[in-house]
Amino acid sequence: MKPRHLLLITAVTAITISAISATGAWANDRYATRAPVVMSPDLTAPWVTQLQQQRPRYYYPAPSFTRQRYYAPSNTTRRVVTRRAPMTADQPPRYRDVGYRRPVQRATRRPTGEQPQRQMNPIYLPQTVAYKGSHKPGTIVVDTTKRFLYLVEANGKARRYGVGVGKEGFEWKGTNRISRKAQWPDWRPPAEMIAREKEKGRILPVHMEGGPANPLGARALYLGSTLYRIHGTNAPWTIGQAVSSGCIRMRNQDVEDLYERVKIGTRVVVM
């Protein structure tokens, strides 16, 4: 080894030993007291300015567009709010009106066999009217053209009821007397009616007990020995129409009222 190399090594070793002696042992250096941090009096320094510009961190979704839908009542429009997250006071939400289509309401199907809710013309409701006919008080007069039944009273008055009469081909006119009265009568359709309805695809019973479903209704006034009757009905909306097979039909509450006003032997005139 050359002498100059030896001199260089000796110099480095001396410098290292001097440094260790000046600062203390390396093992105790980490426990040494640190110098205090002195803040710069210049508040416009770059690092101070950056601290003042820090804002609270908002936990919003990723900065992408999201849509929130608010549904209004069916008679108005709805608004779709489109906002960018996070939002600030100087960035209000943007609105756009979207037409609202009212949901389609499906019609409910009427159960099989249920009758439609039809109304009778109020002109056929019972009332007392003036009567100028020639028939004596106590007589029942049926006007098949106007579809009214009159119970003639004294002093030129009559109790008038709306009725249903015989349909085309089953009309009749004549005079007879009430031969029998019955409450909630049973029904025995004649053989001709059973055969006629069978051709139309409708099967009639041979006999039906009296009750709300019985076509003769709540009361029946039989006319002589014929098959014709003044009776109630379970289809009151047919009053004022020509729909029967020749009988005179009334609302149940009307035939009940007439039933209490007349007696067996009362004269009935069908015009």
Q: What's the CATH number where 206 sits?
A: 2.40.440.10
More confident residue, 20 or 219: 219
The pLDDT confidence band at residue 66, using thresholds 50, 70 and 90, is very low
Q: Is residue 47 part of a domain?
A: no
Q: Is residue 229 part of a domain?
A: yes
* Annotation says 5 is catalytic: no
**Average pLDDT, rounded, for the chain:** 77
Report how far residue 78's alpha carbon sits from residue 76's, in angstroms, rounded to the nearest whole number. 7
Identify whether the C-beta of residue 218 lies closer than 8 Å to the C-beta of residue 144: no
Q: Is residue 75 part of a domain?
A: no
Total tally of structural domains belonging to the chain: 1
Least confident of 20-29, 134-143, 247-256: 20-29
In this structure, the number of other CB atoms found within 10 A of the CB of residue 227 comes to: 14
Q: Which of 5, 135, 207, 247 is catalytic?
A: 247
Q: Listing from the earlier edge strand, what are the strands of the sheet with 248-249?
A: 127-130, 157-162, 148-152, 140-143, 267-270, 174-183, 219-223, 229-231, 248-249
What is the rounded average pLDDT of the residues 88-102?
58
Q: Is residue 252 part of a domain?
A: yes
Q: Is residue 98 part of a domain?
A: no
Computed on alpha carbons and rounded to an integer, the radius of gyration of the chain in Å comes to 53
| This model's pTM is above 0.75 | no
Residue 266 forms beta bridges with which residues? none
Q: Is residue 36 part of a domain?
A: no
Q: Is residue 114 part of a domain?
A: no
Two tokens, residue 259: 């039933």
The domain containing residue 137 runs over which residues?
Answer: 122-270
Across 7-11, 179-183, 190-194, which has the greatest mean pLDDT? 179-183
Q: Is residue 43 part of a domain?
A: no
* β-pair type (267-270, 140-143): parallel
* Annotation says 231 is catalytic: yes
Q: Which of 5, 135, 207, 231 is catalytic?
A: 231
